Amino acid sequence: MAKSIAVFGAGPGLGQAVARRFAREGYAVVLVARRQTVLDRLAAELADQGARAYAVTADLADTDAIPGVSDRVRARIGDPDVIYYGAAPAGAIIPVLDLTPQKVQDLMPLGVYTLLALVRQFLPAMIARSDGAILSAQGASALQGNPQIAGGLTLAAQRNYLQALHAEVTPKGVYVGGLYIEAVIEGTPMHAWIEAAKAEGAPMPDMPTVNPNQLADQLWTMHTTKAEVEATYPEKRLPVTRPA
């Protein structure tokens, strides 16, 4: 039976690149995001290439809706072998002095709550078969506090959760891997905004750009080799995380 992946956050950029990368390896793919037209277009593209691909529209900021979303995923591919979580709170780019308790609360659903809800939905089946993977890709503000991206503290909380999850489920046959990106991903709204601002002469931070296909390849390698629990782009040394 073919392997399967549910891509949570299948918008332009890395989510779509991950879907294409796994589909190329024979995985059935469920695409989950808000925009039906975008999902239908990608599902049709993957189907034309011989993949099983399905679209499920959902607002991932609505954590309470996750049980229903999970049922819709299962109706198409059963319990997925892999879940990829790339949804990130758009309001994370906020100066640290403007951060308030309410703004942090608004960021928590996409940053932490929804991933936690999805893991609780799909992890039991992975543990039961002693096989599965939970992959995540987020910005590098999860690794280091940034005074201009202070909302990244929710991603740091997500990273802490994934580290703890890794320590618990690795002996049970489930791989947990996180990719942290300190670059602007080509083809995303952020990339378009930065390029437009540069064209108008606005000062922009000096950050590299990266093709999302390169990041999707890196996630695929992490998944297949299971040699790294955490990785970065650009590459930098991170503390080694091992099961307790």
The residues, ordered by sequence, that sit 6+ positions from 18 with a Cβ below 8 Å of its Cβ are 5, 7, 84, 86, 135, 137, 216, 219
The reported pLDDT for the residue numbered 173 is: 97
Best CA proximity match to 24, nearest among 55, 44, 52, 1: 52
17 domain-assigned: yes
238 domain-assigned: no
The residues, ordered by sequence, that sit 6+ positions from 205 with a Cβ below 8 Å of its Cβ are 148
The reported pLDDT for the residue numbered 35 is: 92
243 domain-assigned: no
Best CA proximity match to 160, nearest among 66, 83, 236, 230: 230
Measured CA to CA, the distance from residue 93 to residue 156 in angstroms comes to 14
240 domain-assigned: no
147 domain-assigned: yes
CA distances from 42 to 49, 171, 202 (A): 11, 36, 34
134 domain-assigned: yes
The reported pLDDT for the residue numbered 54 is: 98
Q: pTM for the full model? A: 0.92
Dihedrals φ, ψ of 24, to 5°?
Answer: -65, -25
The reported pLDDT for the residue numbered 17 is: 97
Mean pLDDT, contiguous 10-residue spans, the chain (244 residues) = 93 94 98 95 96 97 98 98 92 89 96 98 98 96 90 95 98 97 82 66 73 96 95 78 49
CATH number for the domain including 157? 3.40.50.720
| Cα angle: 114, vertex 115, 120; to 5 degrees | 95
244 close to 208: Cβ distance less than 8 angstroms: no
Number of domains in the chain: 1
Query: In terms of residue numbers, what domain contains 171?
Result: 4-233
143 domain-assigned: yes
Give 136's strand partners: 85, 178
229 domain-assigned: yes
- With tokens 């975008």, the residue in question is 38
